[in-house]
Amino acid sequence: MSAAADPIALNLCVLTVSDSRTLAEDSSGDYLISALQASGHRLAERALLPDDRYRLRAAVSQWIADPAIDGVLVTGGTGFTGRDSTPEALLPLLDKEMPGFGELFRAISFEDIGTSSLQSRAFAGLANATFVFCLPGSTSACRTAWEKIIRTQLDARTKPCNLATLKPRLKE
């Protein structure tokens, strides 16, 4: 088996954005941690912050500045309520957006939740060679994103291409 076909363990952070949950009640964050670890990745750090764009930006900025962090999974704050500010907080940090992620997530979500998928502002991109995935706050949305998109893109065995094997070339 070639080295490119071997799994690559990535260091990932999980951030839950919520004004009402505690870590003890964070089923979405718990799911993402279990899923990433079951896929052979490592949890580098976990946080739960209120929906405050400057605190979110500060936390994610710290992670993307750390060369040991490969990716950040954010859950929550992507809806339309007055407090939902994850896109406004984190889109300015991205060097490159990954429009296909949000498009694909909404298309897949349509199968489960119909036109309510229009309300999702899920997005992804690249910041300082670190992957950033921003997902809705529901556990089912996190499961959909992980199982149908993120897991395979962070798996070096996914063909014809994946994000895991692209990681070394991101700073070229």
Give the list of residues 6+ apart from residue 111 with CB closer than 8 angstroms, or none. Answer: none
| Domain spans in the chain, listed from the N-terminal domain onward | 3-167
- Closest C-alpha to 131, from 4, 7, 14, 6: 14
The CATH superfamily holding the domain 3-167 is: MoaB/Mog-like domain (3.40.980.10)
pLDDT in tens, the chain (172 residues): 344 567 899 999 999 999 989 999 999 999 999 999 999 999 999 999 999 999 999 999 999 999 999 999 999 989 888 888 999 999 999 999 999 999 999 999 999 988 988 889 999 999 999 999 999 999 999 999 999 999 999 999 999 999 999 888 887 7
Helix (H) or strand (E) holding 72: strand 71-75
Give residue 171's pLDDT.
Answer: 79
CA distance linking residue 15 with residue 53, whole number of Å: 13
Note whether 90 and 56 are within 8 A (CB). Answer: yes
Structure token pair of residue 108: 């897949």
Is 0.75 topped by the overall pTM? yes
- Closest C-alpha to 43, from 61, 27, 26, 31: 31
Backbone angles phi, psi at 86, to 5 degrees: -60, -45
Note whether 44 and 11 are within 8 A (CB). Answer: yes
CA distance linking residue 4 with residue 119, whole number of Å: 38
Give residue 57's pLDDT.
Answer: 97
Give residue 65's pLDDT.
Answer: 98
